[in-house]
Amino acid sequence: MKIAATLALLSAIANGQQVGTNTPEVHPPLPSQTCTSSGGCKTENTKLVLDANWRWTHNVGGSTNCYTGNTWNSALCPDPATCATNCALDGADYSGTYGISTSGQEVSLKLVTHGPYSTNVGSRLYLLEDDNNYKLFKLLNQEFTFDVDASQLPCGLNGALYFVQMDKDGGKSKYTSNKAGAAYGTGYCDAQCPHDIKFINGEANVKNWTPSKGDPNAGSGQYGSCCAEMDIWESNSISQAYTSHPCTVDGQTRCSSPTECGDDATNNRFDGVCDKDGCDFNPYRMNSHNFYGPGSNFKVDSTKPITVVTQFITDDNTANGNLVEIKRFYVQNGKAIDNSAISWTGIDPVNSLTDKVCDQAKTVFGDTNDHSKKGGLKAMGDALKKGVVLTMSLWVDYAANCLWLDSTYPVTKNPSVPGAGRGTCATSSGVPADVLAQSGSATVKYGNIRVGDLGSTTSVTPPSPSPSTPSVTPSSSPAPITDAPSDSPTDTPSDSPTDAPSDSPTDAPSDSPTDAPSDSPTEYPPTDAPSDSPTEYPPTDAPSDSPTDAPSDAPSDEPTDSPSNEPTDAPSDDPTDSPSDSPTEYPPTDAPSDSPTDAPSDQPTPAPSPTAPSDSTVPIYYQCGGINHKGPTQCAAGLICKEWNEWYFQCIAPESTFPSTDSPTDSPTDAPAEPTESPAPTETPQASKHTKKPRTPKPTKTIKPTKVPKPTKKPRTPKPTNSPSEVPTDAPTDAPTDFPTDAPSTDVPTDAPSDGPTDSPSDAPTDVPTDTPSDEPTDAPSDAPTDAPSEVPTNSPTDASTEVPTDAPTDAPTDTPTTIVPTSAPANGLLSFEAKLDGIYLNGSPFIFKGANYFGLETDISVPHGLWGGGQSTTIAKIAALLKSNGFNAVRLPFAVDAALSNKAIDPSKIVNEVALLKQFSGKTLSYFDVMDYTIKTFADNKIVVLLDAHVLTGYSGITDLWYSSSADKDNFENAWKIVANRYKNTWNVIAADLKNEPHGSATWGSGNSATDWNQQALKIATTIQAIVPRWLIFVEGVAQSSRDQAAYPTFWGENLMDVQRAPITLPVANRLVYSPHVYGPDVSSQPYFSASNYPDNMPNIWDLHFGFVNKKYGPLVVGEWGGKYLSTNDIKWQDKFASYLKTNSIGFFYWSLNPNSGDTQGLLADDWNTPRTDKLKMLSVFKGTAIP
């Protein structure tokens, strides 16, 4: 389900800062324009990319956090180079996890985003020229224009748009160990030389890493990342500023010593290579108190959208000259508004920045003139001449509460002192916990980005400057600053707090203003994200001493310890290494699988929970205890601190208020909603939506309440550290019987049943009867339709039916649900399926697949998920009974190629609920095929057929684009299928093979290139399988690209069957081919057609184009995957429309997924693994799956 149009980097090569494949990286479009005086403006197809520090960082091919809380995993990251080799950056779910959305030429950044597994704070984005390169802006003798809406940003927030001198490719070509590059937002630098950046110059910043004392998610390494920074716009609705930050180095430079980095902790702030304070122009600070603010009494009204124009003037009026002036004007309500003039004695009454103005302001404000020392505007201009990268962010400031931007700073100064007053916010304002709790929905919007010749980017003429004549001396009293202390000292820092904390934060930086925390302050990652799932809080390693994103003009006395960008302590479901400015997407911090300090690697990590707010009591659903928990432990009134396991205690209502998970009620209710006022930080983010391979938290005892994080689309389960050694496969090659001959005789019959499986195996789990539920006929269709999908009580499927709510979406298919229709019994106990042009047939009668995907065998733990014990788990028998009672007749079981080739040993602790299976293998080694045999047989007992799916090369390494990789032989897929086909050729309910999951990337269809042509390879593998088991149906998925224009035909991975019409497949055994696209909606990833004015009515034509034409012309279609959360209006519309499309065209399907732990789609079960999602089952109940005899 990954997007073809993105063609993001493929699976990582094992020798450097890697690329993860759990979540596809799909860059949101944000068109921009380049203008000329003579030719007007031309639109460019630019895009956005999220900073690498925000991303989940995990072991290559797995889901173990490389960084958790504020520490690195010492096993994976013993040194910078090894860590870069072992760890990968994953893709991002921009809207679902980070609150980033685009519409036309505008991008919206939300402060707090609550995902299914996380709460994310803030973000940092860069503008891309294409998918692999940042757009470089060369600004001399040019003007840069953009629109901004900062109306929702209160005191304490900073919506920043600025330029930094990063490498165009993110350092990928300069540092060969950096395999991610600009495509994954690497290479950040700014004038604060931030130490919180997790990877610098292609290596991990682990050397001398020091966790922050004040923030459990923040830390700083020995190295900083320095470069020139031009802050175009740092603002909220109260104040705004633009600032020049020159450096003595050219481009991104790694600093390694306190002197070179200019660390505050060692009093070296002005000894470094960059000007951290900068030279800023804040109208309020320049003594113009009625120029910018909320309301019509201000010349520029911040309650309305504003067009901001910045001009870079050179000494010779050419792009080759030296920068001598930075001018500013605004456009609002169609009128140009000139910048305010400076009104302090001792500074020229002008309205722009020049070296003279900077020098004068430093003198009048009493600040160190590091701007001049670092080369002034000429040095700034040299960087702008070579090219700089556009950066946009939103953050809270843990270092100085944004007081350097909107209040009196330092707070000890008298606001009447020149330069001390920066805005009207109280000096007590801006505390991150308060801002997040009170303004979590705050959003900033940037758009209509244009660059070009002076005067070419707007239709209005800049007004001529009219500086005010009177100037106020330092002794006179300026207009009162509300809430600003009147008796503070006269010292006044420069415009904004310093952003680059030194290796160790200092409490009181120098008086001279330091840059606002480098944009990163509020973006730290959540502190307790479970190790397995990235948290969406700002990265946990947000710079402990210097926010990386914070604007560079923060005053120097601002504390350097914890940039606001870092998440406070919300666990992150996403990687923990997001930069200070960006939320961390780390996997959950609960119990990193390989980090003994957090939790034994072989112990499942509990589901992450939100971190407690800053007060002394813990609210409902927040963590209150457990090994390594350092936060509050006292629950709020009326709550108890419940121990789910030794690693995780949680505040919940008394047990009596929770319905039993062992026997769901007839009408399950949603899990109690988390308090809306709770601070953003703590639900750990989970894998971004369209990963399509589940990232599940370690299976064992997860938190009980139904609101539990879910892994996105395919679980990332931590690898058991003490897994038994692999066992060579013993699958017989001749003719396995009904169930493989090497399966334990005590539970699995060795002979194929003459007329189908027995209804109840003697050792079937005792808690779930294996007989067909009493309300479901087995031999003849029932005339009475079922009322609704049924919930299956944990003890008895016979009374599992429950009513479906009557308020299901009105545009969902309306046919009356019916029970499955049985067909005649198969001859010799084996089912005979045929795939004809007009559909699928079973034993000569029309057959419709109504199936679900049940994943887990393809993941690290190599067993179906949900069997791990504890309050939130189930059994395969319960799952099978639920499916059967709701009219499902099939299940798609993904498996891993490497596990099938090796028949690896299985850790019994991952499947503790299957008592009968464990009893059979007591004292013996449990193997991969033992578990698969048992799973298939349990479905057979419930008359459910199985489609086997070769999902991944290695479990769990993500989906490779081709059937091989740099580390896996081209014949591995085919060899695995030989073993699987021989093993299950006589197993009556195994009826089909899905040859490879989601070919994409370099995979082609009909190209003739044997290295990439999926059409050719599918035929080769199918021929091998048909020689062994000719009765199986062969499912062939599409690709994710074609010979057509990709921009015009964007598809999901496996969806694109457009080239079948010129290169169809013909199998050796006729009437067995089924084309099987994977189709997803807006919950999984954005596509241009989801934003069309006629959506969702436009979708049937798009589906026809991508794959629908195949049906009844080239062969039958069965959709192998489709689904979504079914919560948002857009997704409900999409699913209802697709369900109608399937029904109208008599197309069968396998819904993704049955499992609740698929983060971007959720499942047919609620988080407790027992309660059915009646809304989804109602939507699907209109389909008539044909009963299995």
HSE, CB side, 13 Å, CA atoms: give it for residue 1162: 27
Domains: count for the chain = 2
Mean of the pLDDT values across residues 128-133? 96
Mean of the pLDDT values across residues 840-852? 95
E strands of 426-512, at which residues?
443-453
Better-predicted residue by pLDDT, 605 or 515: 515
The per-residue pLDDT for range 46-97, each reduced to its tens digit, is 999 999 998 988 999 888 889 887 789 999 999 999 999 999 999 999 998 8
CA 453, CA 451: separation in Å to the nearest integer?
Answer: 7
E strands of 1077-1163, at which residues?
1118-1119, 1148-1151
Separation of CA 517 from chain center = 25
234 an active-site residue? yes
Q: Which of 38, 1169, 81, 64 is nearest to 592 (CA)?
A: 64
- Listed in sequence order, the residues at least 6 apart from 946 whose beta carbon sits closer than 8 Å to its beta carbon are 890, 891, 892, 893, 936, 939, 940, 989, 990, 991, 992
- Is the peptide bond prior to 410 cis by the omega test (within 30 degrees of 0)? yes
CA 1145, CA 1112: separation in Å to the nearest integer?
Answer: 10
For 1008, other C-beta atoms within 10 Å of its C-beta total 10
Length of the chain: 1189
What token pair was written down for 380? 């700034």
Is position 891 within any domain? yes
Q: With 60 as the cut, is the pLDDT of residue 790 above it?
A: no
Mean of the pLDDT values across residues 188-200? 95
Is position 1086 within any domain? no
Is position 412 within any domain? yes
What was the pLDDT predicted at 436? 86
Helices (H) and strands (E) in the chain, counts: 16, 52
What was the pLDDT predicted at 509? 37
CA 525, CA 67: separation in Å to the nearest integer?
Answer: 10
Is position 288 within any domain? yes
CA 1168, CA 669: separation in Å to the nearest integer?
Answer: 12
The model's confidence at residue 966, banded by pLDDT at 50, 70 and 90, is: confident
For 447, other C-beta atoms within 10 Å of its C-beta total 20
Phi, psi of 1075 (to 5 degrees): -85, 135
Is position 410 within any domain? yes
What proportion of the chain, given as a percentage, has pLDDT over 70? 67
CA 946, CA 942: separation in Å to the nearest integer?
Answer: 11
Q: Which of 982, 711, 997, 732 is nearest to 861 (CA)?
A: 711
The dihedral built from the CA positions of residue 660, 664, 665 and 668, taken in this order, carries a sign that is: positive
- Is the peptide bond prior to 765 cis by the omega test (within 30 degrees of 0)? no
The model's confidence at residue 345, banded by pLDDT at 50, 70 and 90, is: very high
Is position 809 within any domain? no
**DSSP alpha helix (H) spans, 398-468:** 403-406, 432-439
CA 344, CA 465: separation in Å to the nearest integer?
Answer: 17
Q: Are 867 and 875 in contact (CB under 8 A)?
A: yes
The per-residue pLDDT for range 753-788, each reduced to its tens digit, is 333 333 333 333 333 333 333 333 333 333 333 333
Q: Which of 78, 90, 860 is nearest to 539 (CA)?
A: 90
Please give the helix or strand (H or E) that residue 861 lies within, else none: none
Say if residue 806 is exposed, middle or buried (CB neighbours under 10 Å; 0-12, 13-18, 19+). Answer: exposed
CA 937, CA 241: separation in Å to the nearest integer?
Answer: 68
DSSP-assigned states of every residue in 225-236: EE--EEEEEEE-
Separation of CA 214 from chain center = 27
Q: What is the CATH number of the domain that holds 879?
A: 3.20.20.80
Q: Which of 1064, 1061, 1071 is nearest to 1032 (CA)?
A: 1071
Q: With 70 as the cut, is the pLDDT of residue 1174 above it?
A: yes
The model's confidence at residue 1016, banded by pLDDT at 50, 70 and 90, is: very high
In one-letter notation, the amino acid at residue 241 is A
HSE, CB side, 13 Å, CA atoms: give it for residue 1023: 9
CA 509, CA 105: separation in Å to the nearest integer?
Answer: 40
Which of 172-186, 550-564, 1009-1023, 1149-1163 shows the lowest per-residue confidence on average (mean pLDDT)?
550-564
For 321, other C-beta atoms within 10 Å of its C-beta total 16
Mean of the pLDDT values across residues 434-438? 87
What was the pLDDT predicted at 654? 64
Q: Are 520 and 499 in contact (CB under 8 A)?
A: yes
**Which three-class secondary structure string do you get for 1046-1077?**
CCCCCCECCCECHHHHCCCCCCCCCCCEEECC
CA 470, CA 676: separation in Å to the nearest integer?
Answer: 50
DSSP-assigned states of every residue in 634-657: EEPTT-EEEEEETTEEEEES-GGG
What token pair was written down for 399? 């270092």
What was the pLDDT predicted at 1041? 63
Q: What is the CATH number of the domain that holds 328?
A: 2.70.100.10
585 an active-site residue? no
Of the residues 453, 472, 497, which one is the last residue of a structural domain? 453
Phi-psi region of 80 (alpha: psi -120 to 50; beta: other; left: phi over 0): alpha
Q: What domain range includes position 866?
A: 844-1081+1092-1123+1153-1174
CA 603, CA 596: separation in Å to the nearest integer?
Answer: 10
Q: Which of 700, 686, 709 is nearest to 647 (CA)?
A: 700
What was the pLDDT predicted at 114? 81
Q: Which of 409, 578, 429, 428 is nearest to 496 (CA)?
A: 409
HSE, CB side, 13 Å, CA atoms: give it for residue 674: 29
| Helical pair 1099-1106 and 1129-1144, crossing angle rounded to 10 deg | 60
Of the residues 453, 476, 505, which one is the last residue of a structural domain? 453
Please give the helix or strand (H or E) that residue 1040 lies within, else none: none
Q: Which of 229, 523, 683, 914 is catalytic?
A: 229
CA angle 1028, 1034, 1035 (to 5 degrees): 150
CA 584, CA 264: separation in Å to the nearest integer?
Answer: 25
What was the pLDDT predicted at 301? 97
SS3 of 365, please? helix
Q: Are 306 and 148 in contact (CB under 8 A)?
A: yes
- Is the peptide bond prior to 956 cis by the omega test (within 30 degrees of 0)? yes
Q: Which of 106, 143, 203, 234 is catalytic?
A: 234
Which of 212-226, 1082-1096, 1124-1138 shows the lowest per-residue confidence on average (mean pLDDT)?
212-226
Record the pTM.
0.48
Of the residues 453, 468, 496, which one is the last residue of a structural domain? 453
Is position 586 within any domain? no
The mean pLDDT of the chain is 75
What was the pLDDT predicted at 319? 96
What token pair was written down for 904? 């690896």
Q: Which of 20, 1136, 119 is nearest to 609 (CA)?
A: 119
What token pair was written down for 881? 């009974």
Q: Are 209 and 219 in contact (CB under 8 A)?
A: yes
Phi, psi of 381 (to 5 degrees): -65, -35
In one-letter notation, the amino acid at residue 80 is P
What was the pLDDT predicted at 504? 35
The per-residue pLDDT for range 349-403, each reduced to its tens digit, is 999 999 999 999 999 999 999 999 999 999 999 999 999 999 999 999 888 999 9
The two beta strands, 1148-1151 and 850-853, are parallel
Q: Are 625 and 641 in contact (CB under 8 A)?
A: yes
CA 873, CA 436: separation in Å to the nearest integer?
Answer: 34
The per-residue pLDDT for range 282-332, each reduced to its tens digit, is 999 999 999 999 999 999 999 999 999 999 999 999 999 999 999 999 999
Is position 1144 within any domain? no
In one-letter notation, the amino acid at residue 761 is P
Q: Are 608 and 708 in contact (CB under 8 A)?
A: no
The per-residue pLDDT for range 899-951, each reduced to its tens digit, is 999 999 998 888 988 988 988 888 888 999 999 999 999 999 999 999 999 99
